[in-house]
Each structure stands twice: as C-alpha cells, then as structure tokens.
Homo-oligomer: A and B are copies of this chain.
Amino acid sequence: MSGSRVLSGRSASLAELLASRQVGRGLPRDFYHDEALYQLELDAVWRAGWLVAGHSCQIPEPGDYFTYVLEGDSVIVVRGDDGAIRGFHNTCRHRGSQICSAEAGHVGRLVCPYHQWVYGRDGALTHARGMPADFDRSQHGLMPAAVEEVGGLVFLSLAEPAPSFAAARAALEPLLAPQGLNRAKVARTIDYVVPANWKLVWENNRECYHCNTNHPQYIKANFDHYNADDTDARVQTALAEATARSQAKWAACGLAVTHTETGMTLFPDVERDIWYSCNRTPLVDGYLSETMTGQQIAPLMGDYADADVGTLRIRTLPNFWNHSSCDHSVSTQLLPAGLRQTKVRVTWLVDAAACQGVDYREEDLLPFWQLTSEQDWELCEFAQKGVDTRAYRPGPLSPYKEYNVDGFLTWYVAKLTRHLESSRT
C-alpha cells in the first residue's frame, strides 16, 4: 500500500524524469538519487522479471535449501522429495514469522520457530496446534514463488504471475548444457557491498572502454576491449585465426563460436525486449582459461573433452552474469540495497569431483575474476561519487565502445515507462 500510495502522488514527475533521458547519453542525476524512482525500479524491474537466485548444485538433496533475500522479500528455495526445486515466501501463514533464518541448510519439514506450524517440503501446512476444528489447513500453505532451473542455474521470480520463461530457456539451455553447472560445486563465494547504485554496476559491466587501463589481466585474455575504432589489422587477424581454429575444432564436439567479432556482443536487445543472452567466443591465442597465466588450473567441467573451448558468457538482466572457462565458472549476482548501495556475490564453481589442494588451488582459481571484480567496484564507487556532484551532467557515450551502455539504459527507461503507464490505468 505505501508503495502505490507514493507512486500515485508522484507518477507525473517520475514520467517527466524518465522522459528526460536522452539516447546516446548517460542518465540525468536524479536517476541516481530519487527514492520514488528507486521504488519504481524495484517494482518494474526487480520484482517483475527473473532473477538468478543461485546454483542448483548448492542444494543437491531433497530438503536442502537456501534463502534468497531482496529488499525485505525473502524466499526459501528448497529441493522437494521429487527432486524438483521450488520457491516459497519465507513467512508463516499464521503471524507471518520468518521460517528459515539461516542462509542455507537442510530441513525435514519447514517448522515455524514461533508457534511451530509445520509445512511439508512442498509448502503444504500439515500441523497447526491450537487452531479450532474448523480451521482449513489446505488454505494456509506457504505462498509459492516461481522457480525455473536451467543448466544448473536457479531462476526465481517475485512476480505474480511470473512472466514466461520459455524463450530464456530455449536460448540458454543448449549453450549451458556442455558446461555442466548442474554437476559442479561451489569452490568459493565472496560477498561485496559496492557503494554505488545498481545501474552504475551494470553500466560498468556493459562496456570494455574502461578495460585497457583498469583490467590489465583481463585484456590479455580477451578480444572484447577492441572496437570498431581500434581493431587494427593485427588484432583482426588474431581474432579471425582464433575463430577459424576454434570453429573447426569445436564443431567436432558440438560447440559453436557464437560471437566472432571484437567488442562485446549486443545486449540487451532493446527492440525485442530480450533480457537474457549467452554466447561462446574464442580467447586470445595461448589462453585456455580466464586465469592469470591462461593455463587450465582445474579439471575439465561438464562435457568438455578438451581445454580449448574458449569462453562461455551468460548475462541476464537485472542481476546476473557469468564467465565460464573449460575448467571453472564464475557467477556474479547483484542485489540493490538502497539507492547508493549494491550487494554483489561472486561465486567460483568447479567440477563437483574436483578437490581443493589436489585438483586445483584457490590461489590459481580466484585472482583473475577477483581482481577484475574489485577493480570494477572501485570504478563504480568513483562513478557514484561523480554523479552525486550537483554539477554532473550526462555526457556523450562513445558509439564505438558504449553501445551496450546505451542499450541497457534505453531498455531500463522503457521498462519503467511501461510499468508506470500500466500502473496508472
């Protein structure tokens, strides 16, 4: 009720604000400072779409669960007796108490700690001591939240009803399959609190214009920091050779090169409102994995029979991206935590059978993406401080290097505009 109350009083000025953004430029200052806009974002983007909640390998057995928390909302993601993963809002149907207070665990049944109402792993209320004879337990099961599993990733939607997941599944499933994330294990998780609005984190992610100086390790392995303006003959030849070599070799094992140019693949697709994307692309010659040395540092994952599989990349708006190599996979999940703060979790995965200290060493596994991540968080912090200054004015985006920043911002403004219009009528 408070949310809608606030919106009704401010929708006119929010519409004005949304209309003030110019294509080809960054966002005006108020996009990073308006509390009502932030609430609209949560409704129009975060609670409307699909979020990557985690990895299915985190909850291999029936009764294994983790909780997923977004700005007050909490969902229990639990594997049922039938092996399927389900989501339930983490609130008892009696007085509303939180049921699971741990981040993860295992339950036989879901028992509310307050008055011991008991729910099955399928959410059904099975016991409620102290209630009258005419109390209908069947009407008081845990409230479900939509969950979809694809290729080892667990997606969750807070929307009621959740939007269709079919197109995303069709796009992601075939490319994810050989990576074997469903047969992986979490090697390490690092949580960050980035002092920047979540959009600034995406803006950072959507271009490699900043890579040359800020990510010295990243640019050695990749082609995507080269663009139409600086892809010289040497770079073009190297990429063409890598692509040709890979295409020939990978075809044999059913893998395809799906991004064959310098620069980043176009994402999101504003025209078709596509929020998910996945592609495989070659690494620079000499790089078999996104590691500091370029060498494979852990056992091959999934269906891979050879280390030379380039890099698989996934991104889904509004909260996820992943870079996968032959031997490991790195997932990044975002959570808005107020106007000026974003929680980020980076998760490193390896094959389920790989053993730390024997099959791989953390000191080989972590640095490439830990460095890249932390370098980016510092830039995001600078960006936030910069847009805090009242003198900030959105400047021109580079058409060569920041087309995806432009696309992301256009997608975002369209999402909010549509939501605002639909909530007014």
Measured CB to CB, the residues of A under 8 A from B are 1-2, 5, 13, 16-17, 20, 26, 28-30, 33-34, 47, 72-74, 89-99, 101, 113-116, 130-132, 135, 140, 143, 145, 158, 203, 209-210, 212-214, 227, 229-230, 379, 382-383, 385-401
Task: Pick the contact of A383: B97, B209, B229 (CB < 8 A).
Answer: B97
Specify how many copies of this chain sit in the oligomer. Answer: 3
- Do B73 and A391 have beta carbons less than 8 Å apart? yes
- Do A386 and B229 have beta carbons less than 8 Å apart? no
In the complex, which of the residues A101, A213, A382 has the most CB atoms of chain B within 10 Å of its own CB atom?
A382
- Do B5 and A394 have beta carbons less than 8 Å apart? no
Main SS class of interface, A: loop
- Do B396 and A94 have beta carbons less than 8 Å apart? yes
CA distance A393 to B209 in the complex (A): 48
CA distance A28 to B91 in the complex (A): 13
- Do A114 and B383 have beta carbons less than 8 Å apart? yes
Task: Pick the contact of A28: B1, B33, B114 (CB < 8 A).
Answer: B1
26 contacts between A and B (CB under 8 A): A1-B30, A73-B389, A73-B390, A74-B388, A74-B389, A90-B385, A91-B391, A92-B395, A93-B395, A94-B396, A95-B386, A95-B397, A96-B395, A97-B379, A97-B383, A97-B386, A98-B385, A98-B386, A101-B382, A114-B382, A130-B209, A130-B227, A130-B400, A131-B396, A131-B398, A135-B396
In the complex, which of the residues A28, A29, A398 has the most CB atoms of chain B within 10 Å of its own CB atom?
A398
- Do B89 and A391 have beta carbons less than 8 Å apart? yes
Chain B min CB distance to A124 (Å): 15
- Do B30 and A386 have beta carbons less than 8 Å apart? no
Chain B min CB distance to A410 (Å): 16
- Do B386 and A90 have beta carbons less than 8 Å apart? yes
- Do B398 and A130 have beta carbons less than 8 Å apart? yes
Task: Pick the contact of A386: B26, B92, B131 (CB < 8 A).
Answer: B92
* Contact A383-B96, Cβ < 8 Å, known A17-B1, A135-B396: yes
CA distance A26 to B114 in the complex (A): 14
* Contact A203-B95, Cβ < 8 Å, known A114-B210, A401-B130: yes
Closest to A9 in B: B9
* Contact A91-B392, Cβ < 8 Å, known A5-B13, A113-B379, A114-B210: yes
